[in-house]
Every structure is written in C-alpha cells, then in structure tokens.
A = this chain, B = another copy of it.
Amino acid sequence: MSRADQPLHGDGPVTSRRERARLRREEIILIASELFAERGYRGTSLADVAARAGITEPGLLHHFGTKAGLLLAVIERRDLDSEAFAMELLGMEPADRLRALPEFARRNRDRAGLAKLFTVLAAESLEPDAPGHDHFVARYRALRAIVADTIRSAQEAGLTRAGLEPEVKAAEIIATLDGLQTQWLLDPEAVDIVAAVESYARTLERDLTGS
C-alpha cells in the first residue's frame, strides 16, 4: 500500500515497467540529440528519429506528445550535463576555474556532437517564438550570472585589475568560447580548439589580473 514498495518479482532483470519506459525515453533522447546536432531540429523528421530508435512515429509521440516536446526533452536532458559541469566548476577555487577551461575544451572536442547540438539549436532558437527560445535565453542569462559572480568574488579577494565590469566581461568570455567552438565545428582542420582555448585562458588571466 505504501508508495515506496518495489515489486522486484523474481524473474528477469530488476527493471520495472516504469523504469524500462524511462530508459527507453533516455535512449530516444540520446538518438534525437545526435540527429538534431547533425541536421538541426528543423532538418530532422520524427521518421528519422523513429527509424534509428527502432520504433514507429506514433510510438515516439506516445512518449513526447509532439516534436517540440521531444526537442524540449533533449534540451532538458543536455542541460543536466552542463549543470553537472557548472557544479564542478563552482566547486573549485575561483583562481583554479580559469585553469579548468582547456580541460573543458578537451572534453568538448571528444564529444563534438554535444557541442554541435547546442550551437545548432541556439541558432535555431534566435526567433522569439522558436520552441527552444525561452530556454536558451534563460540558459545564457544563468551562465553569464555564474561567470560574473566568479569575477566578482575574485574582485573581492583583490585579485583583479580595476575597471572590470563583471557582467560585460562574462558575456565576452562566454562569447569567445562559443565563437571558437563554432569555428572549430565548421572547419576542424583549420582550428585547433584546445590550443585556442589554452591561449585564450592565458590571455584572460592577463586581462583579469591586469598583469
């Protein structure tokens, strides 16, 4: 009768029906992420996703309601990953955060799909009535706030030069990292993303400390 009991009937693996459905949704979200990254939201059809997931189109819609619903599920799932990274960064001393940037770039390079997903979806979400618009606006505002806070706490610790405006500098830092990523995605042979981010991290350190 309690809501906490687990069936755990003897045969088969320990997955309940609910759990299996959740896993299926996760799997579909992963597949949709790849396709959205490659061809964009608009360039991907439900049939594409369904075929790769080994399910029918109505089967897909049973889980996500509409195509936009699938997009939102993808974005939310991917945000959990970024959030984990943000927590990782925030767990460090402010002074160490700069040094973590190249590691971030290295990780992104090895999972180019995730980076591409965000670049593509952000561009498709510029128009105010795009399905992911509000989400990306909120995401960038939050990101700027986190970076600005980091700068502000470095200021309070007396580690920075005078004349730094945290919000403006935050936008600039995020812009540089995003922009480098776009150039690298477009032309990986011409742009070494890890070297570029390492160089930028050094530039940024000089800029922030005023040395």
Q: Pick the most buried of A123, A141, A168, A207: most chain B CB atoms within 10 A of its CB.
A: A123
Q: Chain A contact residues: over half helix, strand or loop, or mixed?
A: helix
Q: Is the CB of A196 within 8 A of B171?
A: yes
Question: With an 8 A cutoff between CB atoms, is A179 at the interface?
Answer: yes
Question: With an 8 A cutoff between CB atoms, is A47 at the interface?
Answer: no
Contact of A119 among B123, B190, B203, B207 (CB under 8 A): B123
Q: How far is the CA of A43 from the CA of B120 in the complex (A)?
A: 13
Contact of A165 among B124, B176, B186, B199 (CB under 8 A): B199
Q: Is the CB of B186 within 8 A of A172?
A: no
CB under 8 Å from chain B, chain A span 25-46: 38-40, 42-43
Q: Is the CB of A195 within 8 A of B168?
A: yes
Task: State how many residues of chain A have any CB contact under 8 Å with chain B.
Answer: 46
Q: Is the CB of B183 within 8 A of A140?
A: yes
Q: Is the CB of B137 within 8 A of A186?
A: yes
- Chain B residues lying within 8 Å of A137, measured Cβ to Cβ, are 186-187, 190
Q: Is the CB of A123 within 8 A of B124?
A: yes
Q: Is the CB of B127 within 8 A of A38?
A: yes
Contact of A123 among B122, B174, B176, B183 (CB under 8 A): B122
Identify 21 residue pairs between A and B in the complex whose beta-carbon atoms are under 8 Å apart, listed by A's number: A38-B127, A39-B127, A43-B124, A116-B126, A123-B123, A133-B186, A136-B186, A137-B190, A141-B187, A165-B199, A168-B196, A168-B199, A171-B180, A172-B180, A172-B196, A172-B200, A172-B203, A175-B180, A175-B182, A175-B196, A206-B207
